Every structure is written in structure tokens, then in C-alpha cells.
Amino acid sequence: MIFTSLPSLCSAEEYHSIVRSAFESGILSHNGPILKKLEKQICIDLKINNYLAVTSGTIALQLAIEALKIKGTIIIPAFSWIASAGAAKWQNCKIKFCDINPKTLNICPTSLEKNIDSTVEAIMPVHVFGNPCEVEVLDELAKKYNLKIIYDSAHAFGSEVNGNSVLDYGDISCVSTHATKIFNTGEGGGLVSNSRDLNEKIKSLRFFGFDENKNVVSKGINGKMTELHAALGLGNIKYFLKTLKHRKHLNHVYRNHLNISKNITFQQIKEGSNCSYFAIIFDDKNLCTKAIEKLESNKVFPRRYFYPALNRLEILNSKQNCPIAESISERILCLPSHNNVSENDARFISEIILSL
């Protein structure tokens, strides 16, 4: 069976050797030594100045909204995972959805600008599948309308723009290190900001709102990553570059096989994309359904990611139309892309799709 995602893992022995110190010291949480080591290592590997680990990508988004004191409307692209909208809802913010660029699958700056009104305080662009957004254009727009940018970088660990980490853009960038992500801590997430004040605020917020003098100074939450999760991250990070290289290679292999199809298009990606997911977009949604059936009958399990478009989720009660996001979400499939997918597997999967 070939699944879309599988965690990239160090060996159990390596994990044990790192986590043993936590068993010996009894320190399992509270910003312990393993967590500090992991945060430092991530900064070194991604060439960033700050990384604050938390319990999930969703909590990272909530902490970012809280730290930036956003109370009004946040504009979110309709092509994303429910957590982007869910985090805004939990923070009691209003949501406006905007459409995406049909080629890059990222937020469309024109649609974004059309949605800006006096209630909008922030935007939450998503680096879809690790493909960097038009960060400079978004920076300009945010400046023009005095908006904060919270990047949903759930997929973008290791993605770059002009040789720099994409996490360096925006007021705060929020990563997910969930088991299915290109780098994982089992469950987990992280926040990146270059503002000293914001970093202090986030440190306090993730620890119930305590400051360094043990006074409760803000409405915090428990967002602390455990030493057990951090130890897994510290084991896994050693192999991150290898994983990144393999994802980029698989992306290339799939494209080479599938580009003869007249019914499929690919996400237009920037060079710095980490290629964490490989998606194909069918011209027709019925073909997409057929592909799922045929792949599953061959024990290959692709994922409809993201489906449906967020503005079509009843629970979010949106009255907005985002025709591009809606259309793409009905025709897109993510194909298996992880360390255990070989070139032969990619060829086998591509041939099934080409035979439709």
C-alpha cells in the first residue's frame, strides 16, 4: 500500500538516545533542555534568528493572532486546510475569504485587495504545498493598508525565497510539525518572528501568560511542546536535508512522467519550494474521481487536499464565492510523496493516471 504521506523518522535507537536524558532528569516539559536544543538547531538549519516551538500549527496560528492583538477581520485564501479558518474563529475574529491564483494555488493579491475594507486587520496567506507566496507583493499591500501578515507556513518548513527562509517574511510565520509534514515532531508547530517584543509575547502566551518573573501578564494558553516531542524533532532534523532532496526529486520525476497528459496541469512552483506535497489538477472533476478509484484499486491512496474550498464549508457560513478555489478543490489530488516512495513507485503511479 502506498499512502500520500508517511512520517520521515530517525531510527528508534536514535530517538531513545536523545530522549533518555528526559527520563533521567524527569524534565518532560516547561521549555526543557531538549526543546531549547531543537529550537536552536532549527534556527541553524533554516538560517533564521528565532523559532518558538509549540504544540501544533493550529495553536501557532492562534498565538500569532493573540500576540498581534487582532480582533477584527482576517482575510484567508479559500484554498487551505480548515485550521487556517479555525484558528481565526477560536480567536473570535471575523473571516473574509479571497480567491487564489489558479497556477500557483497561492493567495491572489488582486482578489485579496478587493476584499480589504475598514474592518480588516490582518491577512493570512498560505504557502500552499510549500510553494512560497508572492511575499514582496503581499508586503507592499500590507504596508499600503496597514495590515498585519500572519503566514500560514504549515507546509513551508525549509522553503526559501531568494535563498532565505520563507519563514522570515510577514509579522509572524506559523509552521506545522505534525507527523505528515516534511519535518515532524509527531504533533507540533512553531512561530517565527523577527520582532523581539513579539517573541517575548509569544513565549509568555504559550506558557499560560507568565512572564520571566513568574507574574501572569497576559491571557495565555498552554502551548508548550513536551521534551518527548522535541526529542523526536531533534532526531528527525538530522535527516531533513535528505528528505528535502528526495521530495524535490520526486516532484521532478512525477512531472517528467505526467507531462504528456493532456488532462492534467501542475502547480506552478518557485525554485525555493520545498515540494512537500505533489499535486495534480485534472481538467475535469469526474476524471479526478476516476483517478482516485483506479489508484485505490491498485493500493495507492492519494489525498484530496484541500477539499472542499473553505468558503463552501457550511460550518463557516460564508456567503462569498471564490470560483477558482472552488473549482480547483474539486479537481486536485495529492500523490504519494515521502521517503519510502521510490522513482519506480512514482512511475507506477503515473502510469495508472496516464491509463485513464
Ligand X SMILES: Cc1ncc(COP(=O)(O)O)c(C=O)c1O
| Span near ligand X by CB under 6 A; candidates 55-63, 93-101, 201-209, 226-234 | 55-63
Measured CA to CA, the distance from residue 192 to residue 174 in angstroms comes to 7
Counting residues that bind ligand X (by CB under 6 A) gives 13
Cell of 252: 521532478
Binding mask 156-195 for ligand X (x = CB under 6 A): --------------------x-x----------x------
Candidates 80, 265, 274, 329; binder of ligand X (CB under 6 A) is 80
Minimum distance, C-beta of residue 328 to ligand X, in the bound complex (Å): 15
Measured CA to CA, the distance from residue 188 to residue 56 in angstroms comes to 4
Q: Can residue 236 be called a binding residue for ligand X (CB under 6 A)?
A: no
Measured CA to CA, the distance from residue 344 to residue 335 in angstroms comes to 14
Q: Can residue 57 be called a binding residue for ligand X (CB under 6 A)?
A: yes
| Span near ligand X by CB under 6 A; candidates 13-21, 36-44, 54-62, 197-205 | 54-62
**Any idea how long the chain is?**
356
Q: Can residue 111 be called a binding residue for ligand X (CB under 6 A)?
A: no
Measured CA to CA, the distance from residue 233 to residue 24 in angstroms comes to 19
Minimum distance, C-beta of residue 135 to ligand X, in the bound complex (Å): 16
Q: Can residue 152 be called a binding residue for ligand X (CB under 6 A)?
A: yes
Q: Is it true that the peptide bond before 308 is cis, omega within 30 degrees of 0?
A: yes
Binding mask 247-286 for ligand X (x = CB under 6 A): ----------------------------------------
Q: Which of 175, 180, 166, 341 is nearest to 247 (CA)?
A: 341
Candidates 51, 81, 254, 277; binder of ligand X (CB under 6 A) is 81
Minimum distance, C-beta of residue 55 to ligand X, in the bound complex (Å): 8
| Span near ligand X by CB under 6 A; candidates 19-27, 41-49, 78-86, 277-285 | 78-86
Question: Measured from the CB atom, is 7 or 348 closer to ligand X?
Answer: 7
Minimum distance, C-beta of residue 338 to ligand X, in the bound complex (Å): 15
Minimum distance, C-beta of residue 305 to ligand X, in the bound complex (Å): 8
Q: Which residue is nearest to ligand X (CB)?
A: 57
One-letter identity of residue 134:
E
Minimum distance, C-beta of residue 63 to ligand X, in the bound complex (Å): 12
Measured CA to CA, the distance from residue 340 to residue 4 in angstroms comes to 10
Q: Can residue 56 be called a binding residue for ligand X (CB under 6 A)?
A: yes
Please name the residue that has the C-alpha cell 531549547: 36
Question: Measured from the CB atom, is 56 or 274 closer to ligand X?
Answer: 56
Q: Is residue 250 helix, strand or coil?
A: helix
Question: Measured from the CB atom, is 87 or 295 closer to ligand X?
Answer: 87
Q: Is residue 52 helix, strand or coil?
A: strand
Measured CA to CA, the distance from residue 180 to residue 184 in angstroms comes to 7
Indicate the burial class of 263 (C-beta count within 10 angstroms; 0-12, 13-18, 19 or more): middle
One-letter identity of residue 328:
I
Q: What CA–CA distances, in Å, run from 218 to 65, 147, 153, 163, 245?
A: 14, 23, 25, 37, 42
| Span near ligand X by CB under 6 A; candidates 36-44, 81-89, 194-202, 338-346 | 81-89
Cell of 155: 507546509
CB atoms within 10 A of CB 257: 18
Beta-sheet pairing, 73-77 with 94-98: parallel
What is the number of helices (H) and of strands (E) in the chain?
A: 12, 14
With contact defined as beta carbons under 8 Å apart, do 250 and 275 qualify? yes
Minimum distance, C-beta of residue 107 to ligand X, in the bound complex (Å): 12
Q: Can residue 4 be called a binding residue for ligand X (CB under 6 A)?
A: no
Q: Can residue 58 be called a binding residue for ligand X (CB under 6 A)?
A: yes
Candidates 10, 126, 192, 335; binder of ligand X (CB under 6 A) is 126
Q: Can residue 83 be called a binding residue for ligand X (CB under 6 A)?
A: yes
Binding site for ligand X (CB under 6 A): 56-58, 80-81, 83-84, 126, 152, 154, 176, 178, 189
